[in-house]
Amino acid sequence: MQSTAIDVRRAAELLRAARRAVALTGAGISTPSGIPDFRSRGSGLWERYDPMEVASLTAFRYHPERFYEWIRPMVSKILSAEPNPAHIALAQLEQMGLLLGVVTQNIDDLHQRAGSRRVVEVHGHLRAATCVSCYHKVAANESMFALVKGGKVPRCERCAGVLKPDVVLFGEQLPGEAVHEAHEMIATSDLVLVIGSSLEVTPAALFPVEALNSGARLIILNHDPTYLDERADLIFRDDVAVVLPLIVAELVDE
């Protein structure tokens, strides 16, 4: 399905008419920046690893070295990645007063680096780490990333316990404050943009439903089908780094 100028114009019209538009983003918005997603055939991060063996809370507690072996390539890609035109377009929409904020499932910090001010991270981030023994929290600095890239497990300077990045693992509770804020933002929105997410991971996948049931409009920009496609006003299967800037350009030209 290739987008047309009419689709882009219609998306711009929906954004212009909305009072509380919110974006929900997943891994697909960051793949143009060189960060692989989890499920794509041939490149997905779960093709070579069982997530429960490397990225669950239980696995981390017993074998943190396996987690760091798995996440090491991703950390390198995230540290070298730059925001792509899709991230920048969302920041521009916020600056134009047409987007309330971004709820993201990503941990790469690219929305903030692109200039977005209100970003709710429901799966955590890599900016800090917490000791699993004494719960001392530290900033994830260059020395910590150097340890990870060098194949070592970073440890707490206070008790020598293992440091776990503040990202949400399987079997771990999501950050309550972030989830509450995300739910409130989307549930009370009148336009939801789902960008780069196949809507397969709960609870984020369920966030748009309450808004839709209250009459919100829905635009989906994602390569793969989602369970909400039949309720969408517009669906784009194209590169998000191409489509979103086109929508912003249409709004600027109005």
Alpha helices in the chain (DSSP H): 5-17, 51-54, 57-62, 64-80, 85-95, 110-114, 142-149, 176-187, 207-213, 240-253
DSSP 172: S
* Distance from the Cα of residue 46 to its chain's centroid: 17
Q: Can you tell me which residue has the tokens 């994830």?
A: 140
The tokens for 209 are: 């439903």
* Alpha-carbon gap, residue 155 to 183, rounded angstroms: 34
* Alpha-carbon gap, residue 113 to 45, rounded angstroms: 24
The tokens for 134 are: 């004494």
* Alpha-carbon gap, residue 2 to 16, rounded angstroms: 23
Residues forming the active site: 123
The tokens for 86 are: 């899709």
